[in-house]
Structure 1
Amino acid sequence: MNEKTKLKLLNRIKKLKYLLFFITLFYSLKISSQELNQLKVTGKILDEFNTPLPGASIVEENTSNGVISDFDGNFEITVRSVNANLVISYIGYKTQILNTSKNPISIKLVPDVSSLDEVVIIGYGESKQRDLTGSLSAIEMADVQKQPASNIGDAIQGRAAGVTITTSGQPGNNPTFRIRGTGTIGNNDPLIVVDGMPLNGGLNQVNMKDVESLQVLKDASATSIYGARGSNGVIIISTKRGKKGQGQLSIDTFTGFQQATNTIDVLNARQFALLSNEMLVNGNLLPNPEFTNPSSLGSGTDWLDAFFTTGRQSNITLSYSQGSDKSNLYTSINIFDQDGIIINSGYTRYIMQFNSDTQINDNLKFGNSLKLNYDIKKNGDNSIQNTILSLPTQPIFRENGNYSGPIGQPIYSGDLDNPIGKSNIVENTTKGYNLQGNIYGELGFLKNFKFKSILGVEANFWDTRTWAPSYSWDSKVSPNAFLAEGSNKSLTLLWDNTLTFNKEFEDGSSITGVLGTSAQENQFKYISGSVQGFTSENAQTINNGLLQPTINGSGSEWSIFSYFARGQFDYKNKYYLTATVRRDGSSRFGEGNKYGTFPSASVAWRVTEEGFFEDSKSINDLKLRIGYGITGNQNIGNYSFASSYNTNLYNFNNTFVTAAVPTVLPNSNVKWESQKQFNIGLDASLFDNIVDLTIDGYIKNTEDMLVPQTVPVTSGYSDVFVPFINAGKIRNQGIEVVLTTNNIRKDKFKWSTDFVFAYNKNEVLSINSDTPLTTGGIGLNYTLARIQPNYPINVFYGFVQDGIFQTQEEVNNAALQTPGINSFTSTAPGDIRFKDLNSDGVINDDDRTFIGNPNPDFTYSFNNTFKIGNFDLSVFFQGVYGNDIFNANRLYTENMSVTTNQSTAVLDRWQGAGSSNTMPRAIFGDPNNNNRQSTRYIEDGSYLRLKNVNLSYTIPVDNFKKSFFNNATLYISAQNLFTITNYSGFDPEIGPNGIDNNIYPITRTFTLGATVGF
């Protein structure tokens, strides 16, 4: 570069420096001018009762500059102009615009009923709540999300009338739902729809903190829009979307610990030795020579104390939300980790959520919902029963550090594996990889029309693994390690299209119509293998096994295509009509039966809009509803209409031959199960809106119920899968009540109460034949329940205990208790006397009868919420009444006929005339069969539980003025604090079938948490 060129470059740099100086000066003056024009505005937001409104939105008009009112309704915002407008809004209240010329600002917001109504989500659309004609329960997620629950089901338990939810203490288990009773003998699970996509994987895939709204559709007029999948009710979940305003970063976290709500008291070593010797002597056997001095044995081993542990859990959700006039987004990451209350059990879950919406122009909009989930569920060989039965005279470890096993003759030492050892060395692991998402496009045209198309996908992949190493624990030896692995793949595709018409008239009337199609397809594949014996147990792979290799696999497909339509008419906010029809075609049915049509209609009358109804402070709003509809059920498996075969190897004269063997007896005539439901209800607001009341009554009849066909042995198909036929009927009828009262509404003190009540009566009207269906199998050829006309579903069936024989004379004068056996040697004083119901002098199967009903008479809950200054306190009770439980654990823990430990209930056993009339004698072998299924094991399952107590403190916003925090709430919570019940087992919450058999117990949980916004 020459000197002339250098001079030119230097001159240009000098000019550029001057230019940059003037540009900087210009913007500095402009910014200074803007700062001079800025104004700090303060104010207070009140509701119609002059009570502060926390969480109200205050946004400078036509900008993204906004703040939220604090717990006392106060706010402070810096606006860009001394003459700016503020847009003030709050859910359920009319939006108001105020000029900042008046500062400070105090404003009272006015309730906007129509705004409240817009938050209700129904199938394939939205509806104003005041316009609903069907039965729907909308869960207040703002209250529910204050609970540190591991899944949504646990958090909403007892909060929706007619919805029975059973949870489990086992980490990673999904809750069980029953909506308005058990409506079929098959799958009773409701349809769960998340962001428009039916969910296959279970609610554990949804992070509760991501949920914006949750509605439960209960009657047919509400669920028939889902046709063949709506018969068990529908749960609709919408996740959060970004909101207009500046970006909001939030962290919600909690940590805590869990314990069993109750344990079973078992015999100590001294008590067990006394029982063992007594049992053996009564059975004409020699007592255990090791137990000559039971008192010297002391307490012995506490197996349950070693088996149960304190489970730790932690949860953190990091979320970000922002929005503008044209677009919004919401994203979150959740990590949940839980150790079980049983050793070597736990659950870890990772969830990522991403939702966005983009308004291209006034008519065109696109968006998406995406959820990614990865979870790990692990368990050892966790047998609660075997832990209870393990002998207190046996240590957990031998002196050499090995796990112990029984030593000596089995009649003395028992024959159980060491439950602590099995729990620690056995690995049962399930890993799940799940994706659920959709994209949508929405086009508005001709002012009143809107077309929306959704493409959705759900991919579920889960791998299972069981590893059991070899071991040698005294007499219990497993010489070969065992490995089993399985891989499952499920892919579901969805394409929904809807055309919506909405027209509002000047007189307040409106009409809404929806036409749509839905196509869904699922493909499932499964492969598994197992092997035993490994040269080195450090190489835990299938190909390294040496013995008994097996391999299995299967695959299936199903699809459903549907047309649907719904029309809603509102005449002057007074008369309402909703009509729905859906036609489904399913691949699960044969030719001529693939399609089913499911219509419904409902009407409502808002009485308080009539001219003859004068304004009244006692009745502010009154609406009557009535509806009828038909829904369906297609849950019968994929190929019931067709024959299927498997190939197997058969040995003929030492020659293996491959043969095709039928596995399914087909029924080409099988068709839809249908459910016809009638609903009547009322909604009322009373006493200046202090009391809200909803009452529903319903009759739900399931017809053409899908039941297994009775196949005679001579058909040759008795040992294969029998087909379903349409031959059963079940009826559920009941009443639901939801009552909310705002007891006190003061500035510094609020108190409200929610009461939920549901009564349901279940009855089987008919089944496929005169032969009842047996259910409730628990192994050892025990079937504890049956399905029979004129009784509730799954009632317990067995013998009736009629006290204890106290003398030999009573034995001689009673019916023969064990036919085919000499009653003088099989039955003796101290044995149970069973009722001879048919008076034929013999106790046999003809003397069995219905001995219990697992279906509750009613469920109920009541929640009290208090707001005292910056403190919030909620106390939630939940209960069940009138159901029976078959405590199958007692078949083992009170049998007193084999050498296993027993519960302390046997301390009250019969040991002589007059000593007991309920607990029989101890005798080896149980010759009288005292342990047969009978009323002895039926218990009242009613309970009242303090389900949740939550105390939170919201830190005043004033404390954050000089920090980057916007809000913060600290809370402590306790779940399942105590339960009032007469049930003797671990916990009375054991599932819809009412059989308590080795069930992982409910946990008591204590947590500490915080929610912080930035």
Structure 2
Amino acid sequence: MKTMQKYLLLVLFLIPIGMFAQNQVKGTVTEKATGTPLPGASVVVKGTTNGTQTDFDGNYIINANTGDILVFSYVGFKTIELSVNTNVINVSLEDDLNKLDEVVVIGYGSTTVRDATGSVTAVTSEDFNQGNMVTAENLLNGRTAGVTVNTSGAPGSGSTIRIRGGASLSANNSPLIVIDGLPITNDTAGGSRSILASINPNDIESFSILKDASASAIYGSRASNGVIIITTKKGKSSLRVNYDVTTGYNTVADRIDVFSADEFRNQINQRQPLIANELGSANTDWQDEIFETQFSVNHSISASGSLFGAIPARLSVGYNRQPGTLKTSNFERATYSLALNPSLFDEHLRINLNANYSREDNRFAGAGNIGAALRFDPTQPVLDPSNPFGGFFQYIDGNGNRRANAPTNPVANLLQVRNFGNVDRFYGRAEFDYKLHFFPDMRAVVQLGYDKSNGEGTNITDPISINGFNANTGIGDPQQNNNSAFESIRENTQLNAYLVYNKEVGNLGLEITGGYDYQKFVRSDFGTNNLNAFNPTEPDNAEAIDVVLASFFGRANFDIANKYLLTLTYRRDGSSRFTDDFRWGNFPAAAFAWKINEEGFLKDSQTVSNLKLRLGWGITGQQDINAGSLVNAFQSTLGLSSNVAQYVFGVTPIVTALPNYRNPLLKWEETTQYNAGIDFGLFDQRLSGSIDVFRKESKDLLVNSPVADGANFSNSGAQNIGKLSSEGIELTVEGDVVRNDNFNWNLSFNTTFLNREIDQLPLGADINVGGRAGGTGGTIQVWREGENPSSFFVYKQLYDTAGEPIEGAFQDLDGNGIINASDRYIKGNADAFATMGLRSTNTYKNFDFSFTLRASLGNEVYNNVSSANAYYSLLNGNGFPSNVPTTVTTTNFINQNSQIINSDIYVEDGSFLKMDNINLGYTFNELANTEASLRVWTGVQNVFIISDYSGLDPEIPSGNGIDGAIYPRPRTFLLGANLSF
């Protein structure tokens, strides 16, 4: 009887369990626009912690009761809630146009725009600049407040990138660039155009730009100039193939004005009649002769899908050929990229693997020939078949030899010199992200990175151009040459490991990250000036340098009630560039954000969709000055004497070893930054933007500065001196002017107001900087306390009653009756007071139209082309007719001297408005009744420039504001197609 009672009680106990037993619900989550499965989408029973994620094919399985609400979400897509009334629920998620949910990659992790506490900007592939983008950084030029990108017209050339103006005087002012978690160095291998020239822009998914110290301090010693994080495209489980092709017709948009052949003859006959007999009968435009139109092409094909049905993968191949508009200049690049993104153990272990190989082939054209073409006699022909120096016109005497001090034919200089360089680069990374089975709130992450470049090249001058035709051999003497060869290696190895603890307790969300980072850079260079004897294992000269960085870092993120966000960051860095006493630096940061729109008085607002206040503070460092000198600066080292500083015993010169400069007190540059910002969104984010106010204070600046005689083994070397501050305001606004089913018009605008100032220099003394061409040595800029570091230091030009400049007449500013260096004053600087960017994007049904404008206001440019060349006396160049810029007619200056070349008449307003690109496209959808699509487009790059500057282009690639005959940026007419299936 008791046994029967026990069985009855057990049955009664199990009845309610059976009544509430859960069903197993399954299905697939896809992207509505393309039908592509979405791996990693979140599926959660609303109001519970019961949840899962979709697998590689977008499939999920979850236990849920009938009537439960399932919440389906994925970053960048609108969240959907569905009630459970069947065992199979398939969901298609729509793109979420709300950019608040965009993922922003930060150091050792990620966040969303909505939850970011620092000044962080995400630029995704949808926002990239369109056109013939050869190098990665040009994808974001003008797209982000506080970021400037100045690029030369040379094919594949690097850029001067500045975030908030930089934070140093003579140390590195470029931002740290991180590719898929691997920080790279700006030190390129010989033969390469730039550190980003080997990367295919089509492989890039997004940029994250960390601008203030609270965002970038996690990178510590290398983050004073901001951080740009490049994220490449990853593998996906669904099969997708994309093919992009772009062709371009590159032309030289403008030239520097010099006298035509007939105008030049008149000038010579009038002003230099003694050399009129040297004039020829030709009519040659030497700029036309050194420049040429070129066709460029860029191919990129990628395929993504599942390997073996389980491993999401992406493979891409790219080829770019970009001939320069300067004759013989050429850039070619082939890239190969593979990404594998498997996940194991029920999504507990996520693995990200990527491997990239590139081959960069360059032919470098001597940019000095641009200046030579301005000066060469336009009455002489390009070719002279009777000339023994290769059939080009050259000045020769009656014996067939070159005439002393004669200029050389710039076209011959280009065609008779073969300067080649090629670089093989491999870079890759492996990341293992493991969510602990026994402690799911904790993740362990290990990352391995490797980057190696092998560069080699030769610089060969045709012997006939040096020694002329030899009747015995038919060529010039090959033993008499100045040929050279080199081999260059850059190697970068990284290991980091960290733990991430993520937990929600009531209204408190907590994420704590802590770990260790090790990185080693190796630089090796070999070279010779004798090609026949070149042996990389026993070179004429060699240099090998290792730099090691070791770091401990931590970050804590607190989210209180989804309203108040606090981020605390700390990094301790050690560098082999400093002694034990100064090797380690500490870099803390803190940031606070308040989501005001989550407060009760705004939570249900139909007007304000986002309002967030951000406050940030942090300290970052700088240890990158000249790599070679700084590595050895604290060590006792010896250097071999040069061939002009040797002892001679009898007739034998003896090479001596001399002590090098040494400074064991060198330490980190340190920058403290303050930032306050407001993010806002109105009308369901139809209008959004941000305002940031910032201030940066740098101290212990790393500067190569003079030292007192006898105080060291050199008269100058690396020292920690001076203070520099920067402050500014950034504004970004984006809005949909029109948004409906057929027509959309989006405008985005950004502007930055910036001021930089030197606060302290050693003994308060000026330091002259900014080397310029012309005259004997000399500088045109000055570092002075209280002034901008790119300030122009000039004499004040005097004018007559008619407003014409008086040659050699300057204002005696100190009133001592003598015009000397004490009368130079500061007239403007190379920094723009304000920079602006505007992008307009229109779509009408299947048509799309876009353009990008940039403006720079208040920057000055020193016209070194005119200051070095625009004088009537220079029509006689060492007894040979030489052309000059036509700007000489505005000054009528006769002779150049050390004062005139520093006249403020050559400092001009460099403000400009540029249209960088304009594009029109049409998309054919559902080709052949499939998901395939084809977009065809056309456009123009470098469309126009509006400026009062008298020179070629006021946007100087180096950013220093000194225009010395730059390589002109081409105007490119484009035609392209994008096929996806």
Shift of 1:506: 5.1
2:124 aligns with one of 132, 140, 157 = 140
The 5 A counterparts of 1:400-479 are 400=386, 402-406=391-395, 415-445=406-436, 446-471=439-464
Q: 1:440 to 1:613 in 2, by over 3 A?
A: closer
Using the TM superposition, give the Cα deviation of residue 837 of structure 1 relative to its aligned residue in structure 2, in angstroms: 1.3
Give the Å deviation of 1:550: 8.9
| Distance in structure 2 (CA, Å) of the matches to 1:790 and 1:907 | 35
Match in the other structure for 1:797: 793
Which amino acid counterpart does residue 353 of structure 1 have in structure 2?
A: S
The yes-or-no answer on 1:999 pairing with 2:936 is no
Closer, same or farther: CA 830–275 of 1 in aligned 2, 3 Å: farther
Residue type of the alignment partner of 1:968:
L
Match of 1:335 in 2: 319
1:919 aligns with 2:900: no
Distance 1:576 1:178, change over 3 A: same
1:858 deviates by: 0.9
1:593 counterpart letter in structure 2: F
**Matching residue of 1:28:** none
Q: Distance in 2 between matches of 1:263 and 1:667?
A: 48
Within 2, Cα distance between the matches of 1:342 and 1:1010?
28
CA contact (8 A) 1:193 1:236 kept: yes
Residue 569 in structure 1 maps to residue 550 in structure 2: no
Contact 1:407 1:475 in 2 (8 A): no
Structure 1: distance between partners of 2:636 and 2:548: 19
Q: Secondary structure at the match of 1:669?
A: coil
Q: Distance in 2 between matches of 1:773 and 1:587?
A: 29
Note the residue ranges of structure 2 that are not aligned, 5 or more in a row: 1-29, 42-53, 60-69, 189-194, 471-475
Tell me, in whole angstroms, the C-alpha distance in 2 between the residues paired with 1:806 and 1:682: 53
User: What SS is found at the alignment partner of 1:976?
Assistant: strand
What is the aligned-residue identity percentage?
30
2:946 corresponds, among 980, 984, 991, to 980
What is the distance in 2 between the residues matched to 1:794 and 1:65?
56
Tell me if the contact between 1:380 and 1:422 (Cα under 8 Å) persists in the aligned partners: no
Contact 1:895 1:931 in 2 (8 A): no
Supply the distance in 2 between the matched residues of 1:513 and 1:66 (Cα, whole angstroms): 30
- Picking from 933, 938, 944, the partner of 2:902 is 933
How does 1:136-175 map onto structure 2 within 5 Å? 136-144=120-128, 146-175=130-159
Provide the C-alpha distance between the structure 2 equivalents of 1:110 and 1:647, rounded to a whole number of angstroms: 65
How far did residue 204 of structure 1 move? Answer: 1.6
Distance in 2 of aligned mates of 1:511 and 1:601: 15
Q: SS where residue 613 of structure 1 aligns?
A: helix
Write the mapping of 1:601-612 to structure 2, written as runs, cut at 5 A: 601-612=590-601
Q: Is the 8 A contact 2:281 2:380 kept in 1?
A: no
1:851 paired residue number = 827
Preserved contact between residue 797 and residue 806 of structure 2 (Cα < 8 Å): no
Per-residue deviation, 1:288: 2.5
- Cα deviation code 1:828-854 (max 9, x no counterpart): x96342222122222222211113300
User: How many angstroms does 1:641 deviate by?
Assistant: 1.1
Q: CA deviation at 1:940?
A: 1.2
**Cα distance change, pair 89–712 in 1 and its aligned pair in 2 (3 A):** closer
Corresponding residue SS for 1:592: helix
> One-letter code of the match for 2:229?
I
User: Is residue 308 of structure 1 aligned with residue 307 of structure 2?
Assistant: no
Moved more, 433-442 or 515-524: 433-442
Q: Distance in 2 between matches of 1:475 and 1:242?
A: 59
1:614-648 CA-partner distances (Å, limit 9, x unpaired): 63333221100101000000113212211221234
Q: Which TM-score applies when normalising by structure 2?
A: 0.84
What do the CA deviations read for 1:953-1007 (whole angstroms, capped 9, x no partner)?
A: 11021x321x6x7121111121111111111222122131111113211111111
Shift of 1:122: 0.5
Q: Deviations over 1:566-590 (max 9, x none)?
A: 0001111100100000000111011
Q: Measured at CA, do residues 473 and 118 of structure 1 come closer, stay the same or move farther in structure 2, by a change above 3 Å?
A: closer
Quote the offset at 1:904 in angstroms.
Answer: 5.4
State whether residues 86 and 99 of structure 1, in contact with CA within 8 Å, keep that contact through their aligned partners in structure 2. Answer: no
Q: Which residue number in structure 2 is paired with residue 376 of structure 1? A: 361
- 505 and 66 in structure 1: CA distance in 2 versus 1, 3 angstrom threshold: closer
2:936 aligned residue? 970
**Following TM superposition, by how much is the alpha carbon of 1:376 offset from its aligned partner in structure 2, in angstroms?**
1.0
Match of 1:877 among 844, 847, 853: 853
1:831 alignment partner, SS class: strand
Q: Which range moves more in the overlay, 601-610 or 115-124?
A: 115-124
Contact persistence 2:871–2:884 (CA under 8 A): no
Which residue, out of 265, 278, 286, partners 2:257? 265
Q: 1:87 to 1:386 in 2, by over 3 A?
A: same
Q: Which moved more, 1:763-772 or 1:154-163?
A: 763-772
In the alignment, what sits opposite 2:374? 388
Task: Please name the residue that 2:928 is paired with.
Answer: 960
Equivalent residue number for residue 585 of structure 1: 574
Aligned Cα root-mean-square deviation (Å): 3.3
The CA deviation string for residues 745-787 of structure 1, in whole angstroms up to 9 with x for no partner, is 1111100100010110010111233432222223540212121
For the residues of structure 2 that align with 1:408 and 1:273, how far apart are their CA atoms?
Answer: 22
Deviations 1:47-68 (A, max 9, x none): xxxxxx855646899898899x
Q: 2:103: which partner in 1?
A: 119
- Alignment deviations for residues 93-140 of structure 1 (CA, whole Å, 9 cap, x no partner): 125779999xxx998959596x95362111000112211110011113
Is 1:519–2:518 an aligned residue pair?
yes
Distance change >3 Å, CA 654–CA 223, structure 1 → 2 = same
**Residue-by-residue CA offset, 1:64-87 (whole Å, 9 max, x unaligned):** 8899xxxxxxxxxxxxxxxxx999
Q: In the aligned structure 2, how far is the partner of 1:902 from the partner of 1:364?
A: 70
Pick closer, same or farther for the CA change 1:97–1:806 going to 2, 3 Å: closer
Contact 1:805 1:833 in 2 (8 A): no
CA distance in 2, matches of 1:617, 1:739: 19
Q: Secondary structure at the match of 2:342?
A: strand
Q: Closer, same or farther in 2 for the Cα pair 1:474/1:614, shift >3 Å?
A: closer
Match for residue 3 of structure 2?
none
Structure 2 contact 56–310 (Cα < 8 Å) conserved: no
Distance 1:982 1:572, change over 3 A: same
> What do residues 485-519 of structure 1 show as CA deviations (whole Å, max 9, x unaligned)?
11111211110101001113454x41111001000
Mapped to 2, the partners of 1:505 and 1:862 lie a distance apart of 44
Residue number in structure 2 paired with 1:226: 219
1:179-229 CA-to-partner distances (Å, cap 9, x unmatched) read: 101311111011100011112352222211111121100000000000001
SS at 1:897 equivalent: helix
Change in Cα spacing, 1:489 to 1:846, as seen in structure 2 (3 Å) is same
Secondary structure of 1:228's counterpart equals helix
Aligned to 1:492: 492
Change (3 A) 1:714 1:565: closer
What secondary structure is seen at the aligned counterpart in 2 of 1:608?
Answer: helix
Whether the aligned pair in 2 keeps the contact of 1:89 and 1:95 (CA below 8 Å) is no
1:668 to 664, 668, 671: 664
Residue 678 of structure 2 aligns with an amino acid whose one-letter code is: L
* Contact 1:558–1:638 (8 Å) recurs in 2: yes
Aligned twin of 2:271: 279
In structure 2, C-alpha distance between the alignment counterparts of 1:838 and 1:349, rounded to whole Å:
57
**Which of 654, 657, 666 is residue 657 of structure 1 equivalent to?**
654
Counterpart for residue 5 of structure 2: none
**In structure 2, distance between residues paired with 1:317 and 1:790:** 50
Q: Report the count of equivalent residues.
A: 883
Change (3 A) 1:371 1:474: closer
Residues 727 and 756 in structure 2, CA contact (< 8 A), matched pair in contact too: yes
**Per-residue deviation, 1:366:** 2.6
Q: What SS class does the counterpart of residue 936 from structure 1 fall into?
A: helix
Greater alpha carbon shift after TM alignment, 833-842 vs 447-456: 833-842
Alignment of 1:671-750 (within 5 A): 671-715=667-711, 717-718=713-714, 722-750=716-744
Please give the alpha-carbon distance, in whole angstroms, between the structure 2 residues aligned to 1:666 and 1:834: 43
Q: Report if the CA contact (8 A) 2:214-2:569 is conserved.
A: yes
Paired amino acid for 2:673: Q
Aligned to 1:248: 240
Q: Which runs of 5+ in 1 are unaligned?
A: 1-43, 46-52, 68-84, 292-296, 532-539, 811-828, 909-917
